[in-house]
């Protein structure tokens, strides 16, 4: 199916597919206004209205002005309409060719049979061509840049605390070992509740949510610190605090326990190889492409044992401090990008496009206008027409005989510890134990359930009666593969209005660390101290800031849950914990 779609698509001979999927002029009658329509065109307009997408795009454009990374692969809506069908065809002809492909097979198979199929059905039908798709190197900057851009918000929306900042560095030559070390460093500085760089920025009031990431899937890796829930006047403070905090950490030495805890956390994730439900082979090839695309050893990034050993040795010296000095503090290939909200921006852009299209139509002959009207009618008829039986028959379908009729049996052993029922499922988990404590929330009122959602957000991230949250975070990362909580609902035998609300506290650890898992769950559940109102406020503001930016990306799930809230009691419960939670936390 995929090879047919990539190598023999109908779009090669059918311009109307590009009109539908890319862009086209639309005109229902000669007297109507000329407009743009197209699936990708509208998708990218949606993407470009998301603040975090605007931030990412401007950051890449500033960091890589002379290479392909400075250009949006999805297309800028302002320029998508410049694309002609002839240009599309030529790009397809060169780039969607087996000579420009990487072929990866994974699994238990007869390799000779699979290669013969690929050759006989596809590869042998093409002649080899030369394809130059090398990604150029961006010349390092001699000095950093600080820039600001507006993004659009509704005329009624607030603009205070809606600025986003990204302070990013393009790193010099980075080895796979240094890439892994940067993952550890990012976790220690910005992800852990004890993260010193994050704490410095939050305490200085730079933003209500501070995060960051390391990206090595491009030819020149980058490291970035980001702040949301901020204002434009915090821009200079952000750069000053990032650089001074990193300098201070290098001068005084990073917290070795914090680094070791972050290293353990990253190592656990590597060994667990949990790719969120994606096939493991797919996850491997995506990781391999980060090297393979640039003519490096595709298997190199799957080997991490030696790198882990070297990084762990480095904990006793100045390994991480040297990495910060070399790659960040002494590096001028950096950009601080801020995007700030501006009311009416989208309306002005829409008015400009409308005016431009009116001028385009004014220059058309009556024959050209009539041709667009006819083209619009043909496209709409095409979109409304069902696929032919012949077209449908060309898509392979599963037969009942392809399915295993036997239900997979999951062994479950039940026992009691005191009054608590324990369900144990023995299965292969690479020596990792997964534990979930399920608390029935039926005792709470609807209003109280809102505070259960907050509790779920903050559990494990506040002080306990035994110690502060920073020490707790180190302990969790040192001994566990993760500790989290969420609120859910289980329907009763499919009944729409009967369900059990639950809070689940989950943790995972190697078998040897089970005593630590029990100790830590007990501490965060039984001994949490909620008296530090400053910390509680920080965490609630952080949740709101994350939602402010993610509400757009969660649009489809928000809408579907809003609809289900009108249909069933369990739907209403889930909506209250989703967009309803955001509304209440904003209040």
DSSP 230-266: E-GGGHHHHHHHHHHHHHHHHHH---HHHHHHHHHHH
Q: Is residue 304 part of a domain?
A: yes
Distance CA 13, CA 4 (A): 15
438, 480: one domain: yes
pLDDT digit string, tens, across residues 5-37: 999 999 999 999 999 999 999 999 999 999 999
Same domain, 294 and 241: yes
Look at residue 348 and tell me if it is in a domain.
no
Residues 163 and 307 in one domain: yes
Q: Residue 203 sits in a domain of what CATH number? A: 3.30.830.10
Helix (H) or strand (E) holding 340: strand 334-343
Tell me whether residue 402 is in a domain: no
The dihedral sign for the CA sequence 293, 294, 298, 301: negative
In a domain, 400, yes or no: no
Report if residue 398 sits inside a domain. Answer: no
What six digits make up the tokens of 225? Answer: 């610190």
Same domain, 388 and 449: no
Express each pLDDT in 362-388 by its tens digit.
999 999 999 999 999 999 999 899 999
User: pLDDT tens digit string along 144-193?
Assistant: 999 999 999 888 888 999 999 999 999 988 899 999 999 999 999 999 88
- Residues 110 and 160 placed together within one structural domain of the fold: no
How many structural domains compose the chain? 3
Regarding whether 155 and 284 lie in a shared domain, the answer is yes
Q: Are residues 315 and 182 in the same domain?
A: yes
- In terms of pTM, does the model score above 0.75? yes
Evaluate whether residue 353 is within a structural domain: no
Q: Is residue 351 part of a domain?
A: no
Shared-domain flag, residues 278 and 317: yes
> Is 406 part of any domain?
no
- The answer on 224 and 102 residing in a single domain is no
Query: Do 159 and 127 have their domain in common?
Result: no
In the structure encoding, which two tokens stand for residue 173, read together? Answer: 């030559």
Does one domain contain both 470 and 576?
yes
pLDDT of residue 421: 92
Q: Which residues of the chain are under the pLDDT cut of 50?
A: none
Contact 146, 167 (CB under 8 A): no
- The string of pLDDT tens digits covering residues 108-118 is 999 999 999 99
| DSSP assignments along 148-202, one per residue | EEEEEE-TTS--TT-EEEEEEEE-SS--HHHHHHHHHHHIIIIISTT-HHHHHHH
Specify whether 94 is located in the same domain as 149: no
- Provide the residue range defining the domain that includes 498: 413-586
């Amino acid at each position: 199916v995929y090879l047919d779609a990539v190598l023999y698509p109908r779009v090669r001979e059918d311009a109307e597919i590009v009109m539908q999927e890319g862009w086209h002029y639309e005109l229902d009658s000669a007297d109507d206004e000329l407009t743009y329509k197209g699936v990708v065109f509208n998708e990218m307009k949606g993407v470009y209205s998301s603040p975090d997408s605007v931030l990412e795009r401007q950051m890449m454009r500033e960091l890589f002005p002379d290479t392909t990374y400075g250009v949006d692969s999805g297309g800028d809506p302002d320029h998508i309409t410049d694309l002609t069908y002839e240009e599309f065809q030529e790009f397809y002809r060169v780039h969607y060719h087996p000579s420009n492909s990487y072929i990866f097979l994974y699994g238990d198979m007869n390799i000779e049979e699979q290669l013969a199929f690929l050759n006989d059905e596809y590869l042998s039908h093409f002649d080899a061509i030369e394809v130059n798709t090398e990604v150029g190197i961006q010349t390092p900057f001699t000095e950093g840049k600080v820039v600001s851009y507006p993004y659009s918000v509704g005329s009624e929306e607030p603009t205070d605390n809606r600025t986003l900042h990204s302070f990013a560095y393009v790193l010099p030559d980075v080895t796979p070992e240094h890439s892994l070390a940067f993952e550890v460093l990012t976790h220690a500085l910005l992800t852990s509740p004890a993260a010193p760089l994050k704490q410095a920025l939050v305490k200085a009031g730079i933003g209500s949510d501070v995060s960051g990431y390391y990206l090595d899937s491009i030819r020149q890796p980058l490291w970035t610190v980001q702040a949301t829930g901020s204002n434009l006047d915090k821009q200079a403070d952000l750069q000053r605090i990032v650089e001074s905090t990193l300098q201070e950490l290098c001068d005084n030495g990073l917290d070795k326990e914090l680094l070791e805890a972050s290293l353990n956390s990253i190592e656990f994730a590597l060994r667990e190889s949990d790719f969120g439900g994606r096939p493991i082979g797919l996850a491997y090839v995506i990781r391999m492409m980060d090297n393979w695309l640039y003519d490096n050893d595709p298997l190199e990034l799957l080997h991490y044992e030696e790198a882990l050993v070297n990084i762990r040795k480095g904990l006793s010296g100045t390994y991480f401090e040297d990495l910060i000095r070399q790659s960040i503090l002494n590096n001028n290939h950096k950009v601080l990008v801020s995007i700030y909200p501006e009311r009416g921006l989208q309306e002005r852009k829409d008015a400009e496009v409308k005016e431009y299209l009116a001028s385009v139509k004014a220059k058309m002959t009556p024959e050209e206008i009539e041709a667009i009207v006819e083209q619009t009618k043909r496209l709409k008829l095409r979109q409304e027409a069902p696929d032919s039986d012949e077209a449908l028959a060309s898509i392979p379908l599963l037969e009942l005989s392809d399915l295993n009729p036997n239900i997979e049996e999951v062994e479950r052993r039940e026992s009691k510890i005191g009054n608590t029922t324990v369900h144990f499922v023995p299965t292969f988990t690479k020596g990792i134990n997964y534990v979930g404590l399920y608390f029935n929330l039926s005792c709470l009122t609807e209003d109280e359930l809102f505070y259960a959602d907050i509790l779920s957000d903050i559990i494990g991230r506040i002080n306990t009666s035994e110690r502060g949250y920073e020490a707790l975070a180190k302990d969790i990362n040192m001994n566990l593969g993760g500790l989290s909580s969420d609120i859910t609902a289980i329907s009763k035998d499919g009944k729409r209005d009967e369900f059990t609300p639950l809070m689940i506290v989950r943790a995972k650890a190697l078998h040897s660390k089970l005593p630590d898992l029990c100790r830590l769950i007990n501490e965060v559940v039984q001994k949490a101290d909620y008296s530090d109102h400053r910390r509680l406020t920080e965490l609630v503001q952080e949740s709101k800031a994350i939602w402010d930016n993610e509400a757009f990306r969660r649009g489809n799930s928000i809408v579907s849950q809003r609809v289900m809230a009108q249909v069933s009691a369990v739907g209403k419960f889930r909506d209250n914990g989703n967009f309803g939670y955001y509304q209440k936390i904003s209040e």
